[in-house]
Amino acid sequence: LSKAIELNPYFAMGYYNRANLLRTLGHTDLAIRDYSKAIEIDTGYAHAIGNRAANYDRIGAYELAIQDWNRVIALEPKAAQYYSNRGLSYYKLGKYDVALEDLNKAIEIDSEYGAAYYSRATLLTKMGREDSALEDMKIVSQLSNHNIKSFANENNVWRSRHLQMETMMESEMQR
């Protein structure tokens, strides 16, 4: 990746990909630097902005994270995960009412986004609203069961198609 960047220092995706690798290796500060460079090259690079926000959050720079969440939400206002993540940053700052607004918005955008329900349940518990938190946890459980069933069904479809393909190939080889 460094060679690709060396060959073309204006290749935003090169910085982005290297940042992802650095983050995986635990070099958050270097990852933030490369995400920043990718964003400098392409100011509308939503994934780079979102990943930089997540890394700011990881190091406890919640205000910087929120600035990036604001920016990426302006670019992609229908992406539930950005609202949910900004809500978590607000939560970590103790700004519970604003966090709740963001988590509600994430769920409004994607009513099957289990992570937002889980985060909201955690927040509601912290706010002393255990009954509402319990309702969210029931939804998390239902969504989890649904996702497990969907995965199982998709896996069964894949296996069925794979077996059909094997049968067809065996038939062709016998001819």
State residue 174's pLDDT score: 55
**Which pLDDT value is given to residue 142?**
87
pLDDT at residue 125, rounded to an integer: 96
Mean pLDDT, contiguous 10-residue spans, the chain (175 residues):
77 94 95 98 97 97 98 98 98 98 98 94 96 94 70 50 54 51
Number of alpha carbons in the 13 Å side-chain half-sphere of residue 153: 6
Long-range contacts of residues 34-38, Cβ cutoff 8 Å, at least 24 apart:
37/12, 38/12, 38/13
pTM to 2 decimal places: 0.80
In angstroms, rounded to a whole number, what is the distance separating the alpha carbons of residues 33 and 103?
29
| Predicted local distance difference test score (pLDDT) of residue 9 | 83
Question: What Cα–Cα distance (Å) separates residue 151 from each residue in 28, 108, 161?
Answer: 33, 24, 15
pLDDT of the residue at 164: 57
How much is the pLDDT for 1?
Answer: 65
